[in-house]
Amino acid sequence: MWEGVFRTGLWPDYLFPSPLGVFHNAVEGFQDHSFIIATAASMKRVLLGYSISLAAGLSLGLLIVACRFLDETLSPLLLGLQTLPSICWLPLAILWFGIGEDSIIFVVAIGSVFSISMATLGGIKNVPPIYMRVARTMGAKGFKAYTSVVIPAALPTIITGMKQGWSFAWRALMAGELLSPKDGLGYILTLGRDLHDMNQVVGVMVIIIIIGLIIDKFVFGRVECSIRQRWGLNRA
């Protein structure tokens, strides 16, 4: 279908590339290592930023659940901040950290932390109260009850929030790498736009999609499968 639309000639090559042109551009990009270097730089940034957001998001979610006052005051704020596009944080990041790696990592972390916090908060709140009653009956109280019963029961929802946070982190990375002066997939994407090279632009988009599918299949997919199997949620 893509090739068929291209051959109709409705748009020029620099506006609507052919799949063959995108493929050749990608081959050239990997042969001269530009795509490899850009992918490695982007992965380094997104992994660091996502790790920070994961630690902060889980901690914040658990803290809010543990304190009723924080739940009543911060939950609406987190929901509002979650809806804020990541690119809105760019001016603040530039003022705080300047143009560089720190700004990009900040935008990545802030872009995904709130979805992880909300998933942690919602997952724990939705744990059936009978689980806690059973835990207390069997002698688990306080912190032990949370670590052995509540958090494991909330894991399916938390993992879903982590997946969503990962996708938000990638979107934030592309916004942040608009500031990158030398490398990253976002930089290659911007360079292709400036040069009117749609083969390069679409090629980078395809690479981002492939990376997302690989991470979902071999990381989050396996974790979700393991959790569903443990909780007896796999379909027969």
pLDDT digits (tens, 9 = 90+) for 159-217: 888 998 999 998 889 888 877 667 888 889 888 888 888 999 999 999 999 998 899 88
CATH of domain 37-65+73-230: 1.10.3720.10
Work out the average pLDDT over 90-96.
88
> Helix, strand, coil % (nearest 5) of the chain?
80, 0, 20
CA distance 62 to 117: 8
Confidence of residue 232 (pLDDT cuts 50, 70, 90): low
- CA atoms within 13 Å, Cβ hemisphere of 101: 9
Question: Residue 174: its pLDDT value, please?
Answer: 86
Confidence of residue 153 (pLDDT cuts 50, 70, 90): confident
Question: Residue 11: its pLDDT value, please?
Answer: 83
- CA atoms within 13 Å, Cβ hemisphere of 45: 31
In the chain, domain spans? 37-65+73-230
> At residue 143, does pLDDT exceed 90?
no
Work out the average pLDDT over 133-148.
76
Query: Average pLDDT, whole number, for the chain?
Result: 86
